[in-house]
Structure 1
């Protein structure tokens, strides 16, 4: 966790100093610049004795651009920005963003706890543009041990290849859209993942028949958007999910306490098999529909049926997609075969456009095979302080850290923006070898497990 005995090399505001062999020395390299690593870059910026540089292959910051639908909001409060829950005085806070853009009074009168998704994206881009350590248009091709306890990081940009020597590397490579195997080889402009919805929206709106697969927030927002126009044009809309229902995401105050440092610690302490069993029953803590989206869909359907027959809208839960083939029906593009689990019955439905709102899977880490420890499912073994455990490697002072690849080890709060600043506080303190940001021991009222009860009994 701690730095080596050599003193840190500070990144200047202009660029890194290169050694004679063209390799630049730095304490920390960040791989990927989604919200989590961007928050880490912001929290490291005032730490004078830890040099850092962050690389992102995309040309600029963009947070789920394909789902930036008008009227959608974050599912977490604005306090869950990149830095506030670690350092409310940071100049990279959302409130300071509003202040710098003369929007603070407007937000005051807006009186909303959940900000528009478009504004969160604009805020994060403002932070990215203000940090000299963030480099876009740079793809990290590999991270390998250099034999001395540090890491060799090879990066490629439009200006050529670059090599960096880092004591620590933090992976924030995010996730990739997941499409069920039956549809993976058929992707195109009429069969696509929800991540591309805005790009393909025109095709979907103009189609005579559309099918949305999945029952989470993205699926619900797309269904609501299609209903806005499709109800009036007579578009046939199918909405199927293998989940047992179109349920709301848990948003009660006691339920939200699972998105806390205490629960993360408790969950990580459980045996791996227990963690998998517990998490399998927690989908609605971080999946499902927001209450507002569920109401919007129902209200659209209710209004559309006033003094009129039901529109051609069908939504059914408990259906597994078994096959996707070209449709034999004239005028239709695809035939989807569904298996209803409870009835053990198979049905076919024809459609023109298929939208997979089927979630995301962690992107692979750019490290050699056999470098990090993995479980029987191929998932990385992540320690409590977010370090990747190395496979067959002797302990050394530098570390590999990961962000948002530890759902199986750290629980439901892993992808949640509200725990990003906390996780980054832990990582910053580990990188610096001392406490830079205070990490509180108690943040919620609930007790997880029995250890605390034992302590109270002894007292």
Structure 2
């Protein structure tokens, strides 16, 4: 079935960033549709643990940074939910992760242009330069075709597991993104090993530590990092997640960017100091009176291989400073090995049109357009796929509304949203 109407924009994927784009487009006359294969909006459901919070302030909602008067702001959500006084007395800048997810669902329910249970299978260009988007509706069990002047790809990142562990993946060895779904079975096991150095690893470890006394399992946490270090959260450090730093980083030579990103891991990959403190406090309380815990924490130690034997897994570990190997056994292994951006299959139809750099990554312009070798008036934009070109702010929720403002001003061919050049106190370059 084909829809010959030419839309102004089609969004591929409905995560927080494209959801914000759809909400901010309400101030324009742009005709849009957004597609996602999920049945409804869900944000990291496998990590929706009780007590966890966003690592950014509530102002990093879908709209506030560029339009604080929007009816889709988090403050208006609280007003509609009759929770303003509750939030006022809460006196916290960082909201529960579950409430952020519910806030996004509240927005999604108000936007009919969001089409769930619809997977974008292919995108091609017509002779006129428009984008032809093929979508499979799992609800209707049929393929549909849509046309648009522009496309915004917002599929985000996907869970990453090193290839050498793929053969072991299953019910007992899995990525941290699946933890909530497998939690009940994990608690019934005799030994659990968490691998990773970031916030997901810390939250899972803390959750398992809190429940350990009600269950009888050994709990281990290993990381190849130098330590269980906190994320950089000083006020001047946070200014790296600003339009100003993004602008500075984009203009740096390509060869410098990767080196810089490798050194900035703790800006966005570390553990929140609150989670670290909660873990320490719990360990301290459990050891009162010279009691011992069935807990093991070890840094500088990399997981090299996983081999299954009689329902348990034999792990080969390597301690980097001592340069020695060690073996251990665990019934469950949780791999908090992070997320990576990827090229979605739906872009295969545009492979010959897209420009790629020498490392096989997409060439992305400063205004978030993918560079095409047949550049015309129709554009393909990307959300949270530009870490290699725009820096650490790419996945940050606090920059989502700003990026959407840049994109929308191009879609509407006028300044719908005002953006500012000086947003921080420090200077990043000469």
Shorter-normalised TM-score: what interval? over 0.9
Contact 2:386 2:394 in 1 (8 A): yes
Shift of 1:340: 1.3
Distance across 1 between alignment mates of 2:353 and 2:329: 47
Matched, 1:397 2:397: no
Matched, 1:361 2:340: yes
Contact 1:231 1:304 in 2 (8 A): no
**Aligned match of 2:202 in 220, 243, 258?**
220
Distance across 1 between alignment mates of 2:247 and 2:31: 29
Shift of 1:215: 1.1
Shift of 1:232: 5.3
Shift of 1:310: 2.5
**Aligned match of 1:143 in 123, 145, 148?**
123
**Aligned match of 1:204 in 159, 162, 186?**
186
Contact 2:187 2:215 in 1 (8 A): no
Corresponding pairs, count = 425
Partner of 1:70: 50
Matched, 1:26 2:7: yes
Question: Which secondary structure state, in structure 1, belongs to the residue aligned with residue 174 of structure 2?
Answer: strand
Distance across 1 between alignment mates of 2:112 and 2:162: 40
Distance across 2 between alignment mates of 1:176 and 1:433: 32
**Aligned match of 2:78 in 68, 74, 98?**
98
Q: Give deviations 1:22-45, integer Å, cap 9, x for gaps.
A: 433201000000000000000001
Shift of 1:320: 1.8
Question: Which secondary structure state, in structure 2, belongs to the residue aligned with residue 438 of structure 1?
Answer: coil
Distance across 2 between alignment mates of 1:22 and 1:109: 50
Q: How does 1:363-442 map to 2 (within 5 A)?
A: 363-365=342-344, 366-368=346-348, 369-390=351-372, 393-442=373-422
Contact 1:24 1:163 in 2 (8 A): no
Distance across 1 between alignment mates of 2:388 and 2:213: 41
Q: How does 1:27-42 map to 2 (within 5 A)?
A: 27-42=8-23
Contact 1:26 1:165 in 2 (8 A): yes
Partner of 1:10: none
Contact 2:194 2:333 in 1 (8 A): yes
Shift of 1:173: 0.6
**Aligned match of 1:47 in 22, 28, 37?**
28
Shift of 1:360: 0.7
Shift of 1:133: 1.2
**Aligned match of 2:301 in 319, 323, 326?**
319
Distance across 1 between alignment mates of 2:214 and 2:288: 13
Matched, 1:446 2:426: yes
Partner of 1:87: 67
Partner of 2:234: 252
Distance across 2 between alignment mates of 1:440 and 1:252: 23
Q: Give deviations 1:312-335, integer Å, cap 9, x for gaps.
A: 2111112222111013xx6x6100
The TM-score normalised by the length of structure 2 is 0.96
Matched, 1:290 2:295: no
Question: Which secondary structure state, in structure 2, belongs to the residue aligned with residue 367 of structure 1?
Answer: helix
Distance across 2 between alignment mates of 1:375 and 1:344: 37
Distance across 2 between alignment mates of 1:434 and 1:240: 51
Contact 1:176 1:363 in 2 (8 A): yes
Contact 2:202 2:276 in 1 (8 A): yes
Matched, 1:334 2:313: yes
The TM-score normalised by the length of structure 1 is 0.90
**Aligned match of 1:309 in 286, 291, 303?**
291
Matched, 1:350 2:329: yes
Distance across 1 between alignment mates of 2:19 and 2:167: 33
Q: Give deviations 1:342-381, integer Å, cap 9, x for gaps.
A: 2211111100000011111113232123332222332211
**Aligned match of 1:118 in 87, 91, 98?**
98
Gaps of 5+ in 2: none
Question: Which secondary structure state, in structure 1, belongs to the residue aligned with residue 302 of structure 2?
Answer: strand
**Aligned match of 1:172 in 154, 159, 183?**
154
Partner of 2:166: 184
Let me know the Cα RMSD of the aligned residues: 1.3
Shift of 1:233: 3.9
Matched, 1:261 2:240: no
Q: Give deviations 1:156-181, integer Å, cap 9, x for gaps.
A: 10221111111100000111111122
Distance across 1 between alignment mates of 2:22 and 2:414: 17
Distance across 2 between alignment mates of 1:105 and 1:189: 43
Distance across 2 between alignment mates of 1:36 and 1:356: 26
Q: Give deviations 1:407-426, integer Å, cap 9, x for gaps.
A: 01101111000000000000
Shift of 1:311: 1.0
Question: Which secondary structure state, in structure 2, belongs to the residue aligned with residue 135 of structure 1?
Answer: strand
Matched, 1:279 2:261: yes
Partner of 2:222: 240
